[in-house]
Structure 1
Amino acid sequence: MAKRVGVLTAGGDSPGLNAAIRGLGKAAIGRFGMELVGFRDGIRGLATNNTIELTASALSGILTAGGTILGTSRDKVQRMVVDGEVRDMIPAIGEVYARNNLDCLVMLGGGGTAKNAKRLADAGLNVIHLPKTIDKDVAQTDNTFGFSTALEIATEAIDRLHSTAHSHHRILLVELMGHRAGWLTLGAGIAGGADIILLPEIPYTVESVAATINARRDKGSNFSVVAVAEGARDVSDAAAVSAAQALVASAKTPEAKAAARAHLAHVIDGQREHTFKLARELEAATGLESRVTILGYVQRGGTPCAADRLLGSRIGAAAAWHIDQGDFGIMVASRGEGTAPVPLDKVAGFTNLVPVDHAWVQTARDLGTGLGD
């Protein structure tokens, strides 16, 4: 009998998701004679058996489409709110898996999806994870589909802000996505010629940022463009978050861990709109007007670029091959121009952060770009 493969997309939407679905589907159906079953709206659709048959005709025309034809959600398999109650849905998901006669479940998503995939694999399901995120923070892969498109969008935004900054002699701060990892801000900042780049991995001081701006003014440049990752923090705020995270890690009981997580959430909530705070501080320190632009969801919307279509197609097609070979409990990682299977226990719970000595960081320093440290 033909192998039946379930597929879902989870977490935030990302350019290239449809390319990966198409790559998986065309290879699975056309080359290996498999059948595909799509689950709508991520983990929630999987838990409630909300399905759609993914035939060859259903995959037609989706290569260039943004978002995901399957819909998505951010649910956790072991803690899903159903009818107002938090439930472990892994047993229900196992029943849906069996009811649909699945031989494998392919889950497209980021770090949270990798954790969900591992939990389902540990429960006995045949699972494969495909890495997507505009943050490029999934561990053990060279790249993630979605990143290249977001990089193009963020770079163009910085390009456009230069003219306004120069014309009005202002400091323009552009906040880009990236809670934990600064790959997008670093890449766009370098490509767009930002004067200062602030990353989650390198806590900054207002004094250092202001010194860079003042030094530029002393040389005749009465404006500056600052690329700020949403997860970037000054030294004191970064220390507060680290201390709160340490409390979570050291908590021994469920009650203590819940209290520590609540404290961490309170600390992070108190640091919202940090880019606006930084803008006010820089105005006071430099005497230059400051303005903030937050790109938000526009960074991950619209048509995927060629690089993300290619990457999604490669990883999706490779997943079909691994299913045919019986390789499960893996993530299909990007490796140079090819792919490689990586066990889920080496991916789930890990994050690909920007090393402080990374080549991109050194490039920024060589260009004279301020990093706030």
Structure 2
Amino acid sequence: MAKKRIGILTAGGDAPGLNAAIRGFGKAAIGKYGWTLLGFRDGMRGLAENRYVELDRSILSGILTTGGTMLGTSRDKVHRMMVDGERRDMIPTIVENYEEAKLDALVCLGGGGTAKNAHRLAEAGLNVVHLPKTIDNDILHTDSSFGFSTALEIATEAVDRLHSTAHSHHRIIIVELMGHRAGWLALGAGIAGGADVILIPEIPYHVESVIDMIKRRQARGSTFSVVAVAEGAMPIEEAQQLEYARSLVKDASSPEAKAIAKKSVKEIENAHRGTSLALAEKLEAGTGLEARVTILGHVQRGGTPNGADRLLATRLGVAGADAIHDGHFHVTVADRGEGTELVDLDETAGKVKYVPTDHEWIRAARDVGTAMGD
């Protein structure tokens, strides 16, 4: 039997644990199954441009603890990739490169966008396995994705540190955390860091409710407040506008109408950027306290993965190799309970794991007196 040749790539935003997952899959692929492993550079773009390097034991050695991705990454969409100044469908080229490299399977490490790309490639006939990565923890049907645990620690430490500044200067400190569509990171860090207010995309907020909460704290003698905000959290008015615009996209009767509706959605989303600063101004005016904003940004993505992410990434990597060995493709390797589960890409690609508004974390936050802005 010919030795299997497997491709692997990382796509989307970088996250702690990517290298650990490459190592976990690679060591199982090479050591357990004796396969040849080809690492494609810079995500889907490297796959389209046929840029790869053979990964062996020596290359995989020492990467368990390093952040980022040794293979590089990009956010390209396989069916709309920018090439020579224009958008092109690169799926046929990728299929050719897959066949030219004599690949038996392709492993894609990434988040929701990567799952959609993997799904498109699977529909084109490629044997694809997806390993779930994202600091947002918003991939459906997996308990956790590698990158989230480390980002949660980083975000929690930031909230911890900002408490002392808020207390010392009698200020409102707003810390903006990642989470464009789902609020898992802001919610978790807000609870763990003892934020007084947590604002997430799933619960549109009333500025007046936040002001009232801070005033109640002032009445009890508290001269400061810490507000943890997911970047996608919105005031109720903006959220209603966005929901209506998205409904127009869903109900559009023609491609032209859908394009116009999508443009409206994008305009609302773009107008929302930077609203933590606007929120600070409103809270300052409404409470009389100085308000300051800290945006953590890409700090949340970087650095050494913690033990939990190294363990999860290794487990999922090994499970991915086992899936290929057993002939299972077109799947996401999900973290479920104390083990792993293979979930069809149809169930994960393009889907978002939102925070349920009755989730235990939200109930816990409310029960300890944390305001959610509603």
The two structures have a TM-score, normalised by structure 2, of 0.99
Q: Structure 1 runs of 4+ off > 3 angstroms? A: none
1:145: Cα distance to partner?
0.1
| Structure 1 SS opposite 2:126 | coil
- What does 1:286-305 correspond to in 2, within 5 Å? 286-305=287-306
Aligned to 1:84: 85
Q: Which amino acid aligns with 1:187?
A: G
Aligned to 2:8: 7
Distance 1:217 1:107 in 2: 51
**2:213 aligned with 1:221:** no
- What does 1:35-50 correspond to in 2, within 5 Å? 35-50=36-51
Aligned to 1:183: 184
Q: Which amino acid aligns with 1:37?
A: L
| Structure 2 SS opposite 1:197 | strand
Aligned to 1:95: 96
| Structure 1 SS opposite 2:47 | helix
1:29: Cα distance to partner?
0.4
Aligned to 1:230: 231
**2:242 aligned with 1:241:** yes
1:251: Cα distance to partner?
1.9
Q: Which amino acid aligns with 2:366?
A: R
Distance 1:251 1:70 in 2: 40
Which string of whole-angstrom CA distances, capped at 9 and with x for unpartnered residues, describes residues 121-141 of structure 1? 111100000000000000110
Which string of whole-angstrom CA distances, capped at 9 and with x for unpartnered residues, describes residues 168-193 of structure 1? 11000000000000000000000000
Q: Which amino acid aligns with 1:275?
A: S
1:315: Cα distance to partner?
0.1
| Structure 2 SS opposite 1:139 | coil
Aligned to 2:31: 30
Distance 1:177 1:350 in 2: 18
1:259: Cα distance to partner?
1.7
1:240: Cα distance to partner?
1.1
Aligned to 2:113: 112
Identity %: 65
Distance 1:67 1:148 in 2: 15
Aligned to 1:360: 361
- What does 1:156-175 correspond to in 2, within 5 Å? 156-175=157-176
| Structure 2 SS opposite 1:108 | strand
Q: Which amino acid aligns with 2:161?
A: R
1:256: Cα distance to partner?
2.0
CA RMSD between the two structures: 0.7
Distance 1:142 1:10 in 2: 21
1:272: Cα distance to partner?
1.6
1:67: Cα distance to partner?
0.3
| Structure 1 SS opposite 2:60 | coil
1:301: Cα distance to partner?
0.3
Unaligned stretches of 5+ residues in structure 1: none
1:253: Cα distance to partner?
2.5
Distance 2:89 2:54 in 1: 26
| Structure 2 SS opposite 1:8 | strand
Q: Which amino acid aligns with 1:206?
A: V
Distance 2:250 2:73 in 1: 29
Aligned to 1:145: 146
Which string of whole-angstrom CA distances, capped at 9 and with x for unpartnered residues, describes residues 100-142 of structure 1? 0000000000001111111111111000000000000001100
1:371: Cα distance to partner?
0.4
Distance 1:274 1:250 in 2: 29
Q: Which amino acid aligns with 1:90?
A: I
Q: Which amino acid aligns with 2:348?
A: V
Which string of whole-angstrom CA distances, capped at 9 and with x for unpartnered residues, describes residues 39-84 of structure 1? 1000000011011111111101000010000000011111111111
| Structure 2 SS opposite 1:340 | strand
Q: Which amino acid aligns with 2:199?
A: L
Which string of whole-angstrom CA distances, capped at 9 and with x for unpartnered residues, describes residues 89-110 of structure 1? 1110000000000000000000
Distance 1:154 1:337 in 2: 26
Distance 1:9 1:253 in 2: 35
Distance 2:338 2:100 in 1: 38
Distance 1:26 1:337 in 2: 22
| Structure 2 SS opposite 1:70 | coil
1:264: Cα distance to partner?
1.2
1:312: Cα distance to partner?
0.2
Distance 1:148 1:216 in 2: 31
Q: Which amino acid aligns with 1:311?
A: L
1:337: Cα distance to partner?
2.1
1:249: Cα distance to partner?
1.4
Q: Which amino acid aligns with 1:176?
A: L
| Structure 2 SS opposite 1:43 | helix
1:257: Cα distance to partner?
1.9
| Structure 2 SS opposite 1:58 | helix
Aligned to 1:61: 62
